[in-house]
Structure 1
Amino acid sequence: MLHLSILLYYLVAWGCYFQYLSEWNKYADDENVMAVTYEELKENRVVGVKNIAAFLGISMTEAELQSVVERSSFQSMKKHSEKTHGTFGEVLFRKGGVSDWKNHFSEDQNEKMDKAFEEHMRGTKLGTKLKYEVYCKA
């Protein structure tokens, strides 16, 4: 499936990944838009939850914060995925890591992805937020 997506110009289930990012990049500076990456939540979920709550104007007690942090862990979401996402949960909640796609792409596919990212996202606000050099570059 990953090989097919490369051949189809980096298509995801809802369209071209880079067109999707480019569209959202237009709104990256809007005051009512907050972009959050999975990688940054993996780095520090507590800070991520605090930032999201602040953005939404929600105050939380320490107990509420800890509850959200625990319930938003990959393990917790995977455990409850059948209730929350039906059978599609098995597809969405695989391993919970970052950068695993590198294990599935060929060297040529990695090079094409790097080139496409450079072409479409280098220097954009969302491109920077994705930390491509850290999490994506092969």
Structure 2
Amino acid sequence: MHQMDLPRPEIFDFHGVSMTHYFTDNWENVQNFKARPDDIVIATYPKAGTTWVAYILDLLYFRQTMPERESTIPIYDRIPFLEMVMPHYPLGTEMANTLSTSPRIIKTHLPVQFIPKSFWEQNCKIVYCARNAKDNVVSYFHFDRMEKLQPEPGDWTSFLQRFKEGKMVFGPWYDHVCGWWEKKQTYSKMHYMFFEDLVADTGREIKRLCSFLGLSTSDEEKEKIRGAVQFDVMKANPMTNLTEDGSLDFSVSQFLRKGKVGDWKNHFTVAQNEQFDEHYKQKMKSTSLQFRTVL
């Protein structure tokens, strides 16, 4: 059976978070995952720049020593998705366990309370990337329209309502970004970055990542990487645009769609925007975390 033919999954409540079986079926192995001290975790809410950050880190670590990876290995095979259980595809935990690179770079969308405890015990470095809620929900909407392994998105209005209620795969955006932000206050090995900053000044964000990771990458190399991770370059790159992924319907949307800040203005009505702002204020009133919705 081709992945396109699989029925879309239903959301169910999993330890207080909305999930689908594609991310919970291997739960015991995820929770018991054995981290190594040099593992690097990329954590994000879905559609917040995961592939972008993953590609930057992959290039920072392996571009010079293993240049052939660039044109031969898709990004999702280089950087396993820890909790993923996809039909006709190795388990995320197995892929992580068999990675031959050092360090292993592993991605997850798990909220902070679900992270395997060995990552904390081994004091692993974690890069968290957050994206403003308005652009995040728009990106998630278009992704769910094309990704057959996601629940049926419905129309924009009902999708936006569901987002506000937190009935999204991986739970509420609000809990996710704030949970990781709180953790950062007590866990020193976390770099919390913003999608909007990456768009505004990719070079500066790459420098910040190098400094967090303790990499002495040359300025020339950083500049090359900055060029390679520009949105249009990644969109044209078969190793990063996921054209090989059988569960994605490219006739509906592109996986790398716009990569912009402020596209929400093309989706929210004036009334939706006012209601969203009101709701957002309530949800975010007890955190110091702040976002830009325009550049």
TM-score by structure 2 length? 0.40
Match of 2:34 in 1: none
| Count of matched residue pairs | 131
Match of 1:50 in 2: 207
Is 1:4 the equivalent of 2:158? yes
1:131: how far off?
2.7
C-alpha RMSD of matched pairs (Å): 2.4
Which structure's relative contact order is higher, taking Cα pairs within 8 Å and 6+ residues apart?
1
Q: 2:176 aligns with which of 14, 20, 27?
A: 20
Q: 1:77 aligns with which of 234, 255, 273?
A: 234
Task: For residues 22-50 of structure 1, give each alpha carbon's deviation from its aligned partner in whole angstroms, at most 9, with x where no partner exists.
Answer: 22122232311111111101111111000
CA contact (8 A) 2:206 2:222 kept: yes
Task: Pick the structure with more strand per residue.
Answer: 2
Task: Pick the structure with more helix per residue.
Answer: 1
CA contact (8 A) 1:18 1:120 kept: yes
- Unpaired stretches in structure 1, ≥5 consecutive residues: none
1:112: how far off?
2.1
- Unpaired stretches in structure 2, ≥5 consecutive residues: 1-154
Is 1:41 the equivalent of 2:215? no
**Matched AA of 1:35:** Y
TM-score by structure 1 length? 0.79
Percent identical residues:
23
Distance 1:58 1:93, change over 3 A: same
Q: 2:267 aligns with which of 93, 98, 104?
A: 104
CA distance in 1, matches of 2:280, 2:184: 17
Larger Rg: 2
